[in-house]
Amino acid sequence: VYGDKLLVHSLSDGFIELIDPETGEARGFKAWRELADLVVLGDWLAIAPPTSQRLAIYDLESGESREMELPGVIEDLEAYEPFIWATIPDHGLVVAVDPSKPEIARRLSLDVAHGRDKISVIGGTLWAISKSGAEILKVDLETGSATSMSLEEEALAIEAFKGGVLVATAADEILEISKDLKITGSWKLEKGSTTSIQLYRLEDGRIIYVSLPRWTIGEIEGEKITEVKAEARLGGSALAEDRIWFTEPAKRRIGYA
């Protein structure tokens, strides 16, 4: 989501389309057919091609683009003002990029898991899933000090919020973990839900999850879990103010719940 518009990656031609959902008006630019990840930070769009050390940064207002080389293959991107954070698991690194320069502003030695949705940044804290998947890592970005907690099941995805972090595990559970590394909530989902899942937490405390293989968008409020099913396998999702957008690549459609 970029303002009141959507940024959508087209699998067929590798274009990034900027779409106005109200009018259908769209403009786009050429990128790559496959992406490791992409994130929006203000007017900046950062894209990591697959198995590449390159980070492409686009100014969505001016249309200008630039590329920079990072110290290894990028697997996960996270945006939190003023930096774009990138994981480089093969080198045990997480780097912060200042997109306005662009340059590396900070390097953290951290053994983070391979894949997307493995780090999340909020305030002065970076949360991550360890390379083994068995630990949640918490880094204080002011002091650089790191703490961790062990989990009984492998962690698959992570999403930070002001009071802590959400974690999806291989046991098809969503855990809520507090700032002091205690489990404060857990919810069991249908089998296969967390194989590929995207997590969001609303300001009112509700949790939204998007289970791509189950074609499902779910809401957790207290102990109550409510799900709606899409009409095809989901490709991705993005949270807007009053809705969750999703793609159905096989049907070449975008929808929202």
pLDDT digits (tens, 9 = 90+) for 35-69: 999 999 999 999 999 999 999 999 998 889 999 99
Residue 158 near residue 136 (C-beta atoms within 8 A): yes
> What pLDDT shows up at residue 36?
94
C-beta neighbour count of 23 within 10 angstroms: 8
Is residue 1's pLDDT more than 90? Answer: yes
Query: What is the distance, to the nearest Å, from the Cα of residue 191 to the centroid of all Cα atoms in its chain?
Result: 22
Q: Is the dihedral of CA 131, 247, 172, 203 positive or negative?
A: positive
> What pLDDT shows up at residue 219?
97
C-beta neighbour count of 182 within 10 angstroms: 10
> What pLDDT shows up at residue 158?
98
Is residue 23's pLDDT more than 90? Answer: yes
Q: What is the pLDDT of residues 185-213, one digit of tens each?
A: 999 999 999 999 999 999 999 999 999 99
Q: For a pLDDT cut of 70, what percent of the chain falls above it?
A: 100
Q: Residue 21 and residue 237: Cα distance in Å, rounded?
A: 15
> What pLDDT shows up at residue 11?
84
> What pLDDT shows up at residue 245?
97
Q: Mark out the alpha helices in 96-246 (DSSP H runs).
A: none
**Tokens at 232, concatenated:** 């095809």
Mean pLDDT of 84-104: 97
Q: Residue 88 and residue 106: Cα distance in Å, rounded?
A: 13
Burial (CB < 10 A; 0-12, 13-18, 19+), residue 189, is buried
Is residue 241's pLDDT more than 90? Answer: no
Is residue 116's pLDDT more than 90? Answer: yes
DSSP state of 48: E
> What pLDDT shows up at residue 12?
84
| Predicted structure pTM score | 0.94
DSSP state of 25: -
Q: Residue 213 and residue 222: Cα distance in Å, rounded?
A: 25
> What pLDDT shows up at residue 145?
93
Residue type, 67: E
> What pLDDT shows up at residue 224?
97
- The mean of the pLDDT values for the chain is 95
The upper half-sphere exposure of residue 100, i.e. CA atoms within 13 Å in the direction of its Cβ, equals 5
> What pLDDT shows up at residue 148?
97
Q: Are strands 244-248 and 236-239 parallel, antiparallel or unpaired?
A: antiparallel
Is residue 7's pLDDT more than 90? Answer: yes
